[in-house]
Structure 1
Amino acid sequence: MNYCKRCLYPENHALNIILDKDGVCSGCRVHEEKYEINWSEKESELDKILSHYKDRPGTHYDCVIPVTGVGDDFFVVDLVKNKYGLNPLLVTYNTHFSTKVGIRNLARLITELDCDHMASTVGPDTVKEITRITLKELGDMYWHVLAGTQTFPVQVATKLDIPLIIWGVNGWLDQVGMFSHHDRVEMTKKVRKEHALRCRDAESLIGTSDKVSAKDLQAFTYPSDAQLEKSRVRGLYIGNYVFWDSQKQIEEMIDRFGYETFAQERTYNTYESIACANNASVHDYIKFLKFGYAKVNDHVARDIRLKRISREQGLELIRQYLTIKPKALSQFLEWLGISEQEFYTAVDKFRDPTVWERKEFNEWELKDSALDIILSPNDQELQVNDPREYKLTEVLEEQSFDEDYILLGRTYIDEANFKAKEG
């Protein structure tokens, strides 16, 4: 296995990376654009684009912004509403895996930035059955989350005649350099299916279970081409127009709006993914079991590129978090109604043989991963010039990694009413 000599990403990355003749990956090369782009010009371009959607006659909302209540959402909503003057409608797909801190942050976002909000909650039994299907057929327990969060905003936009959806950063660009900032890639039906849904759209699940019908899959079914053509909906990535630096952005949101942070089991980043009990735990653990790398690798790669940590520090963090079996797994298994053996049987079929080797007694051995990297002084080392640590804020309510998921929680927050309660 080859690894990027700068950010330590493995060449078997699920989103595909390309290592150049110097051993540096495409994600690092595209990241270099951030230091070459005239961001003032980019922001002027964004201003011109957004002005076309502002104060349209006969409508109340200028755009749709998908949110879950994470720190990046605060940044995007604040930018769009307070800097560019648009009136957004916030929309949320309920992941069914909500945490207390996530519920509070979502309530804080709606309240502090004074926005209208719409949410979609699919029936719990339907979500569980879809999760059983996709875990078995795709080795993915998170398909419904990705499908829902990238479908509901488009459904709302087409039905309410709101032709603009504003997303944060293009993850495929930011992680592996699948695109360039100069490409101005937008969120589309094709991008969603090919890169987020493992090429399995909702229609492909029909017939996989007697418990899942076309009606049950409505929340995951993208608007038709005719609907999209009529509504002219476009999905804009803010990361194409501003220097995207999630850590700095969220720290500003902590100071301005009181965004809460929380420690996680499988990564050192306390800002992201904390709204969901499984994103950085069970979902991330499956990623490790399949490909031998995980979210901690994502965070290390980004922080190395931003010159926050050295490769030595990054490798130490990977070794600290990569192989942790999350305590949250037991809660997920109980929620889904399967055994731990059934879980591993489903995932084992999707292990990458370049990384994993099956041993005696059905045990698996990690034969090649970032844990084995030996750093060389001749590698493409970046000089650390902006060291900073992720903050842990005061937590208003106790929370553990193995608590029940919150299906519904309060969406208003003030000093007398901050606690997340099961609805």
Structure 2
Amino acid sequence: MNYCKKCVMPDTRPGIYFDEEGICQACRAEEQKDITNWAGRQQELEDLCNKYRRKNDGEYDCIIAVSGGKDSHFQVHYFKEVMNMNPLLVSVEDNFEMTNAGKHNIKNISERFGCHLITLKPNLKAQKAIMKKTFEKYGKPTWYIDRLIYTYPLHLAKKFNIPLIVYGENISYEYGGIDRNETFSAKNQINNGVASDIPFEELLDDQITMNDLIFCNPPTQEEINNLEPIYLSYFVRWNSYANYIFAKKNGFKDLTHEWVREHTFENFDQVDTAAYLIHPWLKYPKFGHASATDYASKFIRYGLINREEGIRLVKKYDHKVDQKALKEFCDFLNYTFTDFYKIVDGLYNKEIFEKDKFGEWVLKNSL
């Protein structure tokens, strides 16, 4: 493993690119923001909104894919209060037990900004069956939910004839990934690696049918070509910490006084449910980094900490599995902890991990 010389991201992140100076593409993308013509991008967004703004009161101008999180609060604010659009909010629940903060935030985003919200609560039986299969074979337990987050808004846009669909940031461009070209169009985001790469036919069995996957299948390419899914991060300088500060001033609740998480040092990202957090932790056995690396790298790029502090945080948190998250995940799928660790043991990437004298997996080349 090699690490970015500016942040703490390793080159094992799928699709990430390091330049000849040893700097990762996410750090270069953040530097590029200093010379981007944001006034010009704002005018582009004005033109786009004017193209899709409805003339009649009560008609929706756009759909915004939301979770209730910090970024969702910023997105809704920007389109409702800055761009003067009338958005329909669309969310996908993961069926896990929600935190108090999560319950509050999804209500707050509707009440604070005065928006209707449509939520898909997926087939619980199918979700459990699919989760087990994608976890045990691919180490991707939330594939079903993650894919729906991308595809369900497209289905509603088609159904209600609302072409403009707003997503937050282009993950591949902002943080490093295969599709790293900067573009406002989100038409190709289903292929960003988060919720792709699993053929439907491998999931079908006596418990799982195509009917269970109906919303996972995006509309046809011809239908998508008639839609306009976009990334807000192309038009507005994206900063997840700044979004948190804004959201907190507008009623968003983090996990302060509710839950001190063991796997990371921040308390404001992915706060809706505990069990979901097993998904981002599973990057660790597969790629040697997890949530602490992600946020330490962001904080370094934002100028909030230096690289030495980032290294300390990664060493302290990245390998840890949060026990509350683990218990709720195992309870949801009826696993014992032994079952869970046996599956995870088979996911460790032996090119970058080895076992120490105590039988624990450790990185061969850590920071």
Q: What is the percent sequence identity of the aligned residues?
A: 26
The question of 1:271 aligning with 2:268 is answered: yes
Equivalent position of 2:138 in the other structure: 138
Equivalent position of 1:147 in the other structure: 147
Equivalent position of 1:64 in the other structure: 63
- The question of whether the paired residues in 1 share the 8 Å contact of 2:290 and 2:319 is answered with no
Equivalent position of 1:79 in the other structure: 78
Distance 1:217 1:132, change over 3 A: same
Deviations 1:208-256, CA, capped at 9 Å, x for gaps: x310011121232222234334xx112110100111112122212212x
Distance in 2 (CA, whole Å) between partners of 1:354 and 1:313 is 27
What letter is aligned with 2:352?
Answer: V
Distance in 2 (CA, whole Å) between partners of 1:10 and 1:228 is 35
Aligned pairs for 1:156-167 (under 5 A) are 156-167=156-167
Equivalent position of 1:309 in the other structure: 305
Distance 1:339 1:42, change over 3 A: same
Equivalent position of 1:28 in the other structure: 27
Equivalent position of 1:94 in the other structure: 93
Aligned pairs for 1:216-365 (under 5 A) are 216-229=212-225, 232-255=226-249, 257-262=250-255, 263-279=260-276, 281-327=277-323, 328-358=325-355, 363-365=359-361
How far is 1:58 from its partner? 9.6
How far is 1:59 from its partner? 7.5
- The question of whether the paired residues in 2 share the 8 Å contact of 1:264 and 1:274 is answered with no
- The question of whether the paired residues in 2 share the 8 Å contact of 1:30 and 1:177 is answered with no
How far is 1:305 from its partner? 1.0
- The question of whether the paired residues in 2 share the 8 Å contact of 1:69 and 1:105 is answered with yes
- Runs ≥4 in structure 1, deviation > 6 angstroms? none
SS where residue 122 of structure 2 aligns? coil
How far is 1:318 from its partner? 1.0
How far is 1:351 from its partner? 2.0
What letter is aligned with 1:258?
Answer: G
Distance in 1 (CA, whole Å) between partners of 2:247 and 2:192 is 33
How far is 1:206 from its partner? 4.5
Equivalent position of 1:367 in the other structure: 363
Distance 1:179 1:117, change over 3 A: same
Deviations 1:369-414, CA, capped at 9 Å, x for gaps: 5xx32xxxxxxxxxxxxxxxxxxxxxxxxxxxxxxxxxxxxxxxxx
How far is 1:37 from its partner? 0.6
Gaps (5+ residues) in structure 2?
none
Distance in 2 (CA, whole Å) between partners of 1:194 and 1:72 is 19
How far is 1:197 from its partner? 1.8
Distance in 2 (CA, whole Å) between partners of 1:41 and 1:53 is 19
How far is 1:368 from its partner? 2.6
What letter is aligned with 1:261?
Answer: D
How far is 1:168 from its partner? 0.8
SS where residue 219 of structure 1 aligns? coil
TM-score of the aligned structures, taking structure 2 as reference length: 0.92
Distance in 2 (CA, whole Å) between partners of 1:194 and 1:249 is 23
Deviations 1:22-53, CA, capped at 9 Å, x for gaps: 21112211221111112111111111111111
Equivalent position of 2:7 in the other structure: 7
Q: How many pairs are equivalent? A: 361
SS where residue 220 of structure 1 aligns? coil
How far is 1:296 from its partner? 0.9
Distance in 2 (CA, whole Å) between partners of 1:198 and 1:141 is 13
How far is 1:127 from its partner? 0.7
Equivalent position of 2:191 in the other structure: 193
Deviations 1:91-136, CA, capped at 9 Å, x for gaps: 1111112322111101011011000110111121111001011012
